[in-house]
Amino acid sequence: MELEKLKRLLNSLGEADLTVMKKDLETGDLARMIEERLRSQQERNINKVCPVCHGETTEDSLTLIFGPAGLKKRASFCATDCLEYFISNLKKQKQESYARRPEDEH
Ligand SMILES: [Zn+2]
């Protein structure tokens, strides 16, 4: 990022805002906010492409949130066919991992 942009942003802030920002910086809140913003932007980028057919998704694409708590993943599909295909694949993977589990323990 251009440092000029950051400088301009800081110049636009008043003393009160800067004081809050400095405090957030020290407590790590600012880092967390930036992290959240980055994550949501990356998520949006990922969801631009259908993971099944790699076609571009539109605004009325179907979005699936899946995975265990804390490890939630999100995927957007261009059509129900792709969503169905993805879910059946997910099902197959799960069945395979269950079938493999007894062997792993030995
Ligand atoms: Zn698709």
Measure 2 CA to ligand 1 centroid, in angstroms. 37
Distance from Cα 61 to the centre of ligand 1, integer Å = 9
Asked if 18 contacts 48 with a C-beta cutoff of 8 angstroms, the reply is no
| Global confidence as pTM | 0.51
pLDDT in tens, the chain (106 residues): 688 998 999 999 999 999 999 999 999 999 999 999 988 887 777 778 898 999 988 878 898 988 888 888 888 899 999 999 999 998 898 888 877 766 555 5
CA 43 to ligand 1 centroid distance, Å: 17
* 57 CA → ligand 1 middle, Å: 8
State the Cα–Cα distance between residues 55 and 78, nearest whole angstrom: 7
DSSP string, 1-54: --HHHHHHHHHTS-HHHHHHHHHHHHHTHHHHHHHHHHHHHHHHHHTTB-TTT-
Compute the distance between CA of residue 19 and CA of residue 9 in angstroms, rounded to an integer: 14
